[in-house]
Structure 1
Amino acid sequence: MKWKGRRGSSNVRSSKGGGKMIGGSIGGIIIAGILWLVFGMNPMTALQTGQAVTGGSGETSTEAATSTDRDTQFVKVVLADTEAVWHQIFEEANSTYQEPSLILFDGQVSSACGSASSATGPFYCPADQTIYIDTSFFVEMRQNLGILGDQQGSGGQDNEGKAGDFAQAYVISHEVGHHVQTLLGITQQVNEASRQVTRTEANRLSVLQELQADCFAGVWAQRNQQRVQFLEPGDIDEAINAAGQIGDDRLARASGGEVVPDNFTHSTSQQRIEWFSRGLESGNVQSCDTFSGAL
């Protein structure tokens, strides 16, 4: 993915937390759990699991600082790209896009949705219209989760531009998709409807909301490609691979549990791939109506 040399967003800031959480080696189930948390799980639900995550990477402090600096600049550029695209889409609809904030935190952070930690993974809080990402998250993705590779991108950027950048951009754009849902009133409708139905039906609405955020991420990718030609060969496969790894069905199997569709809150791997691909192919928000009269 080509990202260097473009404008960075001024809406990214850092918040130093209460220190890193300490834990042992990351097992397969915890890894799957992090992947689950990445794509929109309620942070307060995540906190109830009490899971702690560490890198175990053996990085020196200098190496870690360099990685953090690089990731901060990357996040700023990707968020700026989402701002440019969504401003354009909202203007086409004779509306105004309100940009979200993004906070990079270290260990723990307080949000309008409650306190969160590294174990929560990236999340969007509608109450303060802010995206929260722990600074260690992208390091974890590269080193432990198997989504990101270490090959040099085909665009000729140096080794800091490792293959896997677009999978990270997909994470950010998915969370921005939840912000778009808030601006459009969809989040509020889902929350209201969920309070009036059974748990099974509320889970179904959560699935539809997550799939729409995936579709919005695809719309962003297509429109941003038209705008700055930032994609390189293999980038789309990275995002599809990431989407495929965090389906509820796959996570249930990975943990040795039973696949129970009524308990799904994030949909199947195949559904996530299909809706991201639909947004990517169309570049049109109208193609992302996952609810189809459900609200």
Structure 2
Amino acid sequence: MTFNENANVGGSKARRRGAGIAVAGGGVAGLGVVVVLLLNLLTGGDLSGLLGDGTQVQNGSGVDEGAVQNCQTGADANRDDTCRLAATSVMLDQFWGAAVRGYQDPGLVIVDGSTSTPCGTASNATGPFYCPSDQTVYIDPTFFALLREQFGATGGSLAQMYVLAHEYGHHVQDITGIMQKYPNDGTGPASNGVRTELQADCFAGAWVKDAAGQTDASGVTYIEPPTAAQIDDALNAAAAVGDDHIQKEATGRVSPESWTHGSSAQRVRWFTAGYRDGVNACDTFAVAGGRL
């Protein structure tokens, strides 16, 4: 989605932290590495084991580098991935603050290379994730730029915002007790883990549905309505990170019994359900396994 250039997107609590970069064999990551890291980035899972010994991620220092700078207007958000994520967090906090009684903003850490967290190392190899221990989302935006600038992939604005909105969905599940009510019960296409991920996709779609109506303190709308191409960008991202697609790309076969996030069709279906019908359509735990 495109931000209105004069919208005030300041006020994000996003902070930068960490040091070090992911490297392959001491040099620039090759295309195979990029494919695996893309899957990590959009799923929130660590698939770095598929890369073999040639890829190493340097440990981050964990040093707080301060608040995100130069992120005050929609024009800033359109120009810079980090600012776009920070601005999106402002919108997500506003949306969920109105939808959830007693909502508390999560932390948002923009990772520079890698950094330690209570849930393990955050880096562009592990991808973005929500850590319940400190109620914080960790995301390294540099990989979006790598995909666009060196490999011709889109990594478009709405795809990036969808990724962040998905992680914020996990925060909502945490603070509302959904995670505690439906603890992880293993893997498989109807497991609680898959239902949790599909609900986060649905929550992301619900936010996109209402995002164009959100305004800053002066009444200026934050973003322009999403175009059909931008919605397709988000749907394509959801499909690309389906467990079945990832498994087929990585191993040549599909093993539903080991799914943790849901199939491509499931992820697209639940994002679409939220985008079409809003938050009330997102109870993935009430749906029989065969209809997920």
Give the TM bin, normalised by the shorter chain.
Answer: 0.7 to 0.9
- 2:126 partner amino acid: T
Normalised by the size of structure 1, how large is the TM-score? 0.77
Counterparts of 1:9 and 1:275, CA distance in 2: 31
The alpha carbon displacement at 1:230 in A equals 2.5
Counterparts of 1:208 and 1:145, CA distance in 2: 33
Deviations along 1:167-195, one digit per CA (max 9) or x if unpaired, are 1111111111111111111122333x52x
The alpha carbon displacement at 1:31 in A equals 3.6
| Change in 2 beyond 3 A, CA 1:188/1:147 | farther
Q: 1:286 aligned to 280, 287, 292, which one?
A: 280
Counterparts of 2:162 and 2:38, CA distance in 1: 13
Figure out how many residues of one structure are paired with residues of the other and give that number: 258
Partner of 2:195: 208
Matches within 5 A, 1:1-295: 1-3=1-3, 4=5, 5-17=7-19, 19-23=20-24, 24=27, 26=29, 29-42=32-45, 46=47, 51-52=55-56, 70-90=80-100, 95-143=101-149, 147-148=153-154, 164-191=156-183, 194=185, 199-200=186-187, 204-227=191-214, 228=221, 230-233=224-227, 234-283=229-278, 285-292=279-286
- 1:124 partner amino acid: Y
Deviations along 1:186-242, one digit per CA (max 9) or x if unpaired, are 122333x52xxxx44698221111100000000011111232352342211110111
The alpha carbon displacement at 1:10 in A equals 2.6
Counterparts of 1:78 and 1:168, CA distance in 2: 10
- Whether the 8 Å CA contact 2:147–2:154 is kept in 1: the answer is yes
1:99 aligned counterpart, secondary structure: coil
The alpha carbon displacement at 1:116 in A equals 2.8
User: Where in structure 1 do 4 or more consecutive aligned residues deviate above 6 Å?
Assistant: 66-69
Deviations along 1:135-170, one digit per CA (max 9) or x if unpaired, are 412213423666517xxxxxxxxxxxxxx1111111
1:119 aligned counterpart, secondary structure: coil
- Whether the 8 Å CA contact 1:8–1:79 is kept in 2: the answer is no
- Whether the 8 Å CA contact 1:8–1:73 is kept in 2: the answer is no
| Change in 2 beyond 3 A, CA 1:41/1:122 | closer
Counterparts of 1:287 and 1:269, CA distance in 2: 19
The alpha carbon displacement at 1:53 in A equals 7.6
Partner of 2:218: none
2:251 aligned counterpart, secondary structure: coil
> Greater shift after overlay, 182-191 or 274-283?
182-191
Counterparts of 1:166 and 1:132, CA distance in 2: 18
Counterparts of 1:39 and 1:209, CA distance in 2: 15
Q: Which runs of 5+ in 2 are unaligned?
A: 59-69, 71-75, 215-220
- Whether the 8 Å CA contact 1:36–1:247 is kept in 2: the answer is no
- Whether the 8 Å CA contact 1:244–1:273 is kept in 2: the answer is yes
Q: Which runs of 5+ in 1 are unaligned?
A: 55-65, 150-163
- Whether the 8 Å CA contact 2:187–2:193 is kept in 1: the answer is no
Partner of 1:62: none
Counterparts of 1:129 and 1:266, CA distance in 2: 20
| Change in 2 beyond 3 A, CA 1:82/1:215 | same
The alpha carbon displacement at 1:262 in A equals 0.4
Percent identity between the two aligned chains: 38
| Change in 2 beyond 3 A, CA 1:25/1:47 | closer
